[in-house]
Structure 1
């Protein structure tokens, strides 16, 4: 059963077409990576899938829920780690994570807070206001809030930002374990090595278009980097020839260039 399904999902900001006719299926229990350059539409995609933005066209289902019709239901059911977002500065990590659990009616939230603080090594900072935490500590708290309520699906935008190399490996282990338990991870990144190391499947997004999806289990980092560069260069050449709609809103009612290899 797909955890995520989209059909023709499109989003514009004025004349800018940030996402064009995205049709995608992500199976439950997979670790899917949306890989693309900065500005390719990755963060917009996560916003649409989690009900934070409204699409201009197309349909979407997340865990069987329509985030357009029921955005709060989707956000209660999933975990979300936005890129470059901090916990509220006036709350301690414990207070913030309790709030995350309370809005989802988790009666075991204190136990889960302790578990995730230990996993991500910020137990000593649990009762320190977020304003006094280091950048790395704040990122650990934000990682914890995506998982602390035990969702079946998490959306993660650049999960390793501001983490030291040792904790990066710890986070990778947690993501793999979460997937191996039957849950689903939708990961957005522009780092090829992160996608190669973690994901069993990737979609390459460029200029708001899904250019390709590919199984990555048999690819190493160099293989995926070569494939990514070739795909993006092909996308750029296709745009220059005018064979597909540009990110500035040219008419394009189909998802051009998407392949599944």
Structure 2
């Protein structure tokens, strides 16, 4: 049975390993320990991990910039070694490094890149993409005169000249101010809604939580989690309840002490607990039994930072 192009994952990684050979008596550096990933077409996929986890090595192998030690990588079904040309045409990569020719203007950068990918002049979208990146008024100035944030946006624009099926963004908003970051994400979301698969690495965990439908966490060269964002957060067994009292008290009431509640500013009681071990109803009963004058109650669910720390600490 021939597989439909729409059912072929945007990215398939199978048992991918990378070891950097070190001269002398220093042990070789194992960067990837057998990575397996499937990224569905049209997904907004987050690839997270601490510094040195192997994210950049993985991205550079996908982009064809680093040779793998073993394993297989396919982009839209194309093997990155056997079908190198087709695989590289299917992907656009925005690197962390600001690697731009200082004496090219943004328009020249875009036109040169489009020429490398064989994009006919009639199908080039140079002005449209530059405008979307907030660089329309800088199209004809030298790249060396652009700020760091503008150069990073130019890298994003450069990666999109050939309308790739897969766009990999490696820390795309580092050094970009909030307003321009929002402008960038508005455009990236539109690309994703139009069918472009987005793979994002970022240290802004709130960005990943808001944007990504699926998240993989890599630590020490191995995938320690890969699942839908909501499912990932749902597995975190922690919750916080904050009680605001109508008047100050001197200490935590007796019934709440067994929940390890803490008191701050005389009027605020915080309780952190595991829902799998403690029912919220029991906490509320303790509040009632202590006859507390509660004027407000808020709860906080775990966020992606909690998941990230839980899955990468001590491993």
TM-score bracket for the superposition, by shorter chain length:
0.7 to 0.9
Name the counterpart of 2:44.
31
- Give unmatched runs, 5+ long, in structure 1: 238-261
Where 1:160 maps in the other structure, the secondary structure is: coil
Distance 1:110 1:122, change over 3 A: farther
- The residue that corresponds to 2:160 in the other structure is 147
Map of 2:148 onto structure 1: 135
1:8 aligns with 2:88: no
Distance in 1 separating the partners of 2:59 and 2:11 = 11
CA distance in 1, matches of 2:149, 2:163: 23
What is the CA deviation profile of residues 23-74 of structure 1, one whole-angstrom value per residue up to 9, with x for unaligned ones?
Answer: 1100000010101111111110101112211111111111111112344432
Structure 1 residue 222: Cα displacement: 4.2
The higher-RCO structure (CA 8 Å, 6+ apart) is 1
Give the TM-score of the pair, scaled to structure 1: 0.84
Separation in 2, partners of 1:163, 1:129: 19
Aligned pair partner of 2:305 in 212, 218, 225: 225
Aligned to 2:36, the other structure's residue is in SS state strand
Equivalence for 1:176: 189
Alpha-carbon separation, structure 1, partners of 2:39 and 2:110: 28
Structure showing greater Rg: 2
Would the aligned equivalents of 1:50 and 1:71 in 2 still touch at CA under 8 Å? no
Any idea what SS the aligned residue of 1:54 has? coil
Structure 2 spans left out of the alignment, 5+ residues: 1-6, 22-27, 235-300
- SS of 1:162's partner is coil
**Structure-2 residue corresponding to 1:57:** 70
RMSD over equivalenced CA pairs, Å: 1.9
Which of the pair is proportionally richer in helix?
1
The Cα of 1:110 is off from its aligned counterpart by 7.8
- For residues 71 and 158 of structure 1, the distance between their equivalents in structure 2, rounded to whole angstroms, comes to 25
On the 8 A contact 1:38/1:190 being kept in 2, the answer is no
Cα shift at 1:76: 2.6
CA contact (8 A) 1:120 1:170 kept: yes
Counterpart CA distance in 2 for 1:208 and 1:141 is 30
